[in-house]
């Protein structure tokens, strides 16, 4: 029971988002509900591992799909494609032997008890396993490798290795959780424009071209005349409870105009109740308003990481003063770099 609870908590804390990296989807009930939270694998981790994998890149699938693909292969043959296979360790076929550095686990999807073995599996990024404690029954893992039909029995063939695991002894550290990432190169994305007062189109999108990156710009100077207005660029709702290793918002921005008016007219806001109430976030990263220099801004969201939040870039003008504010490359999530192995 203690081991089961440990793996449940590890899964909640370390693996936070399921995504099919290619055209094949992993079913939402991949791991069922048998005491272990459903296996949601961080998309960023799979994406990052793709840069490390030496061979052809593959789909992300569950054990049931891997079994199906294996049975479709001619007996004795191996797939030309590589796959990321998500499963739960049901058992270990052969005892651990440190002289070989591999382990042969049996993995299952739990939902319909499909299972297959991962023959002579290597550890994280292909390293040798050094202890039997690095791969235990109950671990939720992702294995990278080829599928083989071993004379009617599908398996991950020798040469596969561990990509992700809920077992902290395995050496797999999930990539940073990202709740929102929008460059504004192509458009507004999942953000929304909310006009608080005035009817003018304050926020506009400038697309990326050969010379400049895309961005959102707020400007209440309309047709050569300043209009009094308030308009916010609002993020979608984000679940920071998944950011167990800290949370922050980073973005690039600049403004032009009277710097003495900036604090009143340009603010970064946060809401924890779906947008009913807002609080200003402190931001110390600004240019001086006299040029278009882009500034990299970072705001710590540690106090909000156990909550659902929305972020807003709140723009306001008066009847006489209108600043110009450009926003680009917004990212909300765990700090970058937390996935580096220790």
3 state SS of 126: coil
Strand partners, 92: 105
In the DSSP assignment, the letter for residue 76 is T
With bands split at pLDDT 50, 70 and 90, how would you rate the model's confidence at 185? Answer: very high
In the block, tokens 């009617």 appear at 152
pLDDT for 176: 75
253-264: pLDDT as tens digits: 999 999 999 999
Where do the domains of the chain lie? 2-170, 178-333
pLDDT for 111: 60
More confident residue, 32 or 90: 90
pLDDT for 292: 86
> Mean pLDDT score of the chain, rounded to an integer?
82
The angle subtended at Cα 21 by Cα 16 and Cα 25, nearest 5°, is 85
pLDDT for 201: 87
More confident residue, 244 or 268: 268
What homologous superfamily is domain 2-170 in, according to CATH? Nucleic acid-binding proteins (2.40.50.140)
Average pLDDT of span 227-237: 96
pLDDT for 27: 40
Question: Cα separations (Å) of 53 from 12, 23, 120, 261, 281?
Answer: 26, 19, 18, 51, 40
Give the integer Cα–Cα distance in Å for 67 and 97. Answer: 27
Contacts of 245 (CB under 8 A, 6+ apart): 176, 177, 334, 335, 338
Q: How far is CA 10 from the centre of its chain?
A: 17
pLDDT for 15: 33
pLDDT for 49: 46
Query: Span 178-333: which CATH code?
Result: 2.60.120.260
- Please determine, for residue 168, whether its predicted confidence score (pLDDT) is greater than 90: no
Give the integer Cα–Cα distance in Å for 179 and 245. Answer: 13
Give the integer Cα–Cα distance in Å for 144 and 78. Answer: 14
Per cent of the chain over pLDDT 90 is: 58
20-31: pLDDT as tens digits: 233 333 443 444
Q: What is the β-pairing status of strands 115-118 and 78-92?
A: unpaired
Range from 110-114, 157-161, 164-168 carrying the lowest mean pLDDT: 110-114
191-231: pLDDT as tens digits: 999 999 987 789 999 999 877 899 999 999 998 899 999 99
Asked whether the beta carbons of 135 and 104 are under 8 A apart, the reply is no
327-341: pLDDT as tens digits: 999 999 988 865 443
In the DSSP assignment, the letter for residue 97 is B
Asked whether the beta carbons of 260 and 321 are under 8 A apart, the reply is no
In the numeric block, which tokens belong to residue 235? Answer: 């993020």
Q: What is the signed CA dihedral for 258, 201, 236, 250, rounded to 10 degrees?
A: -30
């Amino acid at each position: 029971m203690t081991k089961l609870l440990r793996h449940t908590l590890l899964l909640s804390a370390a693996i936070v988002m399921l995504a099919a990296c290619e055209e094949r989807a992993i079913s939402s009930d991949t791991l069922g509900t048998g005491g272990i939270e459903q296996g949601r694998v961080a998309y960023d981790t799979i994406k990052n591992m793709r840069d490390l994998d030496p061979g052809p890149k593959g789909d992300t699938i569950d054990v049931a799909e891997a079994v199906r693909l294996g049975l479709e292969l001619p007996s004795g043959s191996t797939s030309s494609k590589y796959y990321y296979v998500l499963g739960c360790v049901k058992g270990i076929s052969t005892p651990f032997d440190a002289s070989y550095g591999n382990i042969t686990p049996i993995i299952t999807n739990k939902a319909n008890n499909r299972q297959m073995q991962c023959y002579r599996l290597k550890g994280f990024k292909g390293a040798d396993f050094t202890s039997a404690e690095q791969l235990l029954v109950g671990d939720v893992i992702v294995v990278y490798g080829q599928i083989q039909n071993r004379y009617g029995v599908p398996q991950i063939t020798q040469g596969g290795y561990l990509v992700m695991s809920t077992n902290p002894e395995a050496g797999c550290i999930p990539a940073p959780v990202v709740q929102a990432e929008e460059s504004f190169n192509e458009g507004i994305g999942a953000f929304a424009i909310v006009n608080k007062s005035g009817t003018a189109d304050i926020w506009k999108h400038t697309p990326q071209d050969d010379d400049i990156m895309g961005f959102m710009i707020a400007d209440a100077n309309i047709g050569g005349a300043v209009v009094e207005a308030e308009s916010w660029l609002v993020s979608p709702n984000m679940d920071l409870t998944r950011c167990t290793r800290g949370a922050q918002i980073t973005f690039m921005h600049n403004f032009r105009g009277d710097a003495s008016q900036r604090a009143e007219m340009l603010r970064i806001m946060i809401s924890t109740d779906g947008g009913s109430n807002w609080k200003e976030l402190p931001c110390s990263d600004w240019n001086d308003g006299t040029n278009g220099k882009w500034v990299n801004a970072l705001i710590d969201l540690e106090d909000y990481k156990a909550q659902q939040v929305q972020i807003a870039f709140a723009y306001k003008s008066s009847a006489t003063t209108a600043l110009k504010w450009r926003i680009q490359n917004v990212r909300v999530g765990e700090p970058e770099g937390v996935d580096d192995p220790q």
